[in-house]
Amino acid sequence: MPNNTYNPGSLSKISLIITNFDGSKQIDISSIFVNLSITEDIFKNTLYGSVIIKDAIGLLEGAPNNPNLQGFPIVGEEFLLVSYTPLNQDTVNLRFMVYSVDDIVYGKSNFKKQYTLNFCSEEHLIDSTTVVMKSYTGINSDNVQNLCKDFLQIDKVDIPYKGHAIKKFDKIQPTRGNQNVVIPRLPPIQAAHFLARRSIAADAAMNTGTYLFFENFKGFNFCDLEYLITQGITKFNSFGKYTSQTDYHPMVYRFEDPIVVGSTSKQPQLREMNAIQAMHQKHYFDTIEKLKRGLIESDTVLFDYTKGTYSPTRYRYITTLDKTNTNQVGLGNETGNSFPTNSNSFMTFATSNSDNVVKYSKFFMIPKDTSQPDTFLDTIYPNRASYFTGMAQNMFTLDTYGNTKVNAGDVIYATIPSSVDNSPNKFISGYYLVCTIRHIISQTYYHMKMDIYKNTVDTKLPTMDLPKSNTTSNTGNSK
């Protein structure tokens, strides 16, 4: 392996060890694996992945010709201990459970095979064998932590695999209001999602109701998207404030070759580590999708079945956008975006001027028992539908070198080039939330595929008003 401190994508160490369930036997497969893939995703429950193995010793049959491994066939009940150190970066230690073997390709000799081991976090297997039938009181953020400790064994140390098996909580955002909740015979992870959909933040300026329960490399998380973004900006700034297009920042990515003749970068070799190798814009905008899924406007009817009364309310995106924390920290426009309010704006047309005018396409009917604590569902449902729809409007997939500083749920800055010249595209360059990372590792190379999302454009778009004079004013932005 080249001894180059700044050689991007190189590994200084990789270790893959399979152990049986009780840890009495193990085999190091570091020299016989072809490709390792691990995925962390804020919209999934736990970590998962696969490893391709070229096997010439008969591991599936218990290695009959190896006396040290006899009686240790791979049957889908093993632990996989993963440890890797990218060059000039931190070491990553993870532990998984193997749950299946597939895609077995036989060579000319029966002992020569290539196959794929599929694995996941052990909490996922615990979840498959556990049912929660329990009532919870208090705030949901505490309820989720207690549920995970009691049923998923999070925060418990498994001594034989210390360093690989300690699972912890990463981000827990306090929720509002004491709840009386009965979990109706659900697996633990599904129960955590059940609580997430009924949770609203205790201290947010505007509650989006976008709570998620997921695992990344740092641990388990229970928080909303706004909290992820604000915490992501804090982490981003912890490496130093990003002020120049030519300086290096470990969480700034550029679609360019940074090492060019006459480059003004202070650290061109380091900058190369964060160069975008390939980029695919999966989605930009879909106006019909915005309308159907309730981004612009929706109606909620809260039906009190104990009193026989109902209360209709209308959610309007145009009145809530400037109240979100994401605009305050700059995932959208750092100055705070709003839709144009002039008569010729389509977004204004799509928003009703009166509660008696029906221009929505999303409707929620929510039953409520006023004798019980407030569930806040009439606030959560329309805000959640609008926020998730908006976040999905602008999505990229980036292929980059491996970076252990970035995890799912973090915020990065992506400089997307303009098609006119080599300058940054002023509308879509900027902060992005990292929703999915697929870590792809070979014997010597490490790279990542990241799905990143942005909820608004970064620069205000011009108004759609017809010019009334020789000058045109800019009044807002559009999704």
Same-domain check for residues 138 and 116:
no
321, 339 contact by CB (below 8 A): yes
Q: Is there a domain that residue 413 lies in? A: yes
Q: Is residue 260's pLDDT more than 50?
A: no
Asked whether residue 47 falls in the same domain as residue 66, the answer is yes
Among the three residues 125, 141, 171, which one is the final residue of a domain in this structure? 125
Q: What is the rounded distance in angstroms from the CA atom of residue 401 to the CA atom of residue 440?
A: 10
pLDDT at 473 over 90: no
Answer with the residue of higher pLDDT: 472 or 382: 382
Distance CA 194, CA 182 (A): 10
Distance CA 14, CA 32 (A): 12
Q: What is d(CA 132, CA 150) in angstroms, rounded to the nearest whole number?
A: 10
pLDDT of 387 strictly over 80: yes
Distance in angstroms (rounded) separating the CA atoms of residues 215 and 378? 28
Task: Specify whether 256 is located in the same domain as 219.
Answer: no
Q: What confidence score (pLDDT) does residue 434 get? A: 96
- Relative orientation angle of helices 140-147 and 188-196, to the nearest 10 degrees: 170
Between 37 and 296, the more confident residue is: 37
Residue whose C-alpha is closest to residue 190's, from 136, 141, 148? 148
**More confident: 164 or 392:** 392
| Total domain count, the chain | 3
Same structural domain, 324 and 205: no
Of the listed ranges 36-45, 233-242, 321-330, the least confidently predicted one is 321-330
Mean pLDDT over 271-276 rounds to: 81
**Do 179 and 84 share a domain, yes or no?**
no
Phi first, then psi: what are they for 348, rounded to 5°?
-70, -40
- Interval 386-408 mean pLDDT: 90
Residue pointed to by tokens 């602008």:
394
Give me the percent of the chain exceeding a pLDDT of 90.
35
15: domain CATH number is 2.40.10.10
Judge whether 77 lies within some domain: yes
Q: How confident is the model at residue 360 (pLDDT cuts 50, 70, 90)?
A: low
89 vs 291: CA distance, rounded Å:
45
| Residues 175 and 195: beta-carbon distance below 8 Å | no
Instruction: Tell whether 162 and 121 lie within a shared domain.
Output: no
In Å, the largest CA–CA distance within the chain is: 89
The pLDDT value given to residue 337: 40
Distance (Å, rounded) from C-alpha 52 to C-alpha 101?
Answer: 10
Relative orientation angle of helices 377-391 and 225-238, to the nearest 10 degrees? 50
Percentage of the chain exceeding pLDDT 70: 76
Taking all residues of the chain, what is their mean pLDDT, rounded to a whole number?
79
- Domain membership of residue 238 (yes or no) is no
- Residues 291 and 210 placed together within one structural domain of the fold: no
- Specify whether 262 is located in the same domain as 189: no
Tens of pLDDT, residues 35-61: 999 999 999 999 999 999 998 877 887
User: Would you state the structure tokens that stand for residue 203, as one six-digit string?
Assistant: 């201290």
Report yes or no on 478 lying in a domain: yes
Distance CA 42, CA 48 (A): 12
Average pLDDT for residues 398-403, to the nearest whole number? 93
pLDDT band at 348 (very low <50, low <70, confident <90, very high): low
For residue 296, pLDDT beyond 60? yes
Residue with structure tokens 């209308």? 314
Domain assignment present for 368: yes
Structure-token match 């500083």, residue found: 405
Top-confidence range, 14-28, 138-152, 198-212: 138-152
Domain boundary among 155, 189, 223: 223
Residue where a domain stops, chosen among 189, 223, 257: 223
- Identify the pLDDT of residue 306: 79
Q: Is pLDDT at 257 greater than 60 in this prediction? A: no
Give the C-alpha distances (Å, rounded to integers) separating 447 from 168, 303, 478: 26, 52, 34
Would the pLDDT of 267 be above 70? no
Q: What is the pLDDT of residue 349?
A: 57
| Same-domain status, 99 and 167 | no
Tokens read off for 353: 């001027």
Of 66-75, 204-213, 431-440, least confident by mean pLDDT is 66-75
Query: For 471-475, what is the mean pLDDT?
Result: 32
Per the domain annotation, does 97 fall within a domain? Answer: yes
Q: Is residue 418 a part of any domain in this protein? A: yes
User: Does residue 343 share a domain with residue 420?
Assistant: yes
Does 305 share its domain with 433?
A: yes
* More confident of the two residues 433 and 290: 433
229 located within any domain: no
pLDDT band at 446 (very low <50, low <70, confident <90, very high): very high
Q: Residues 439, 393: one domain? A: yes
Determine the pLDDT at residue 41. Answer: 97
List the domain range (segments joined by +) for residue 218: 130-223
Instruction: Calculate mean pLDDT across residues 153-181.
Output: 74
Predicted model pTM: 0.84
pLDDT digits (tens, 9 = 90+) for 91-150: 999 999 999 999 889 877 666 889 999 999 989 988 998 999 999 999 999 999 999 999
Which pLDDT score is estimated for 6? Answer: 58
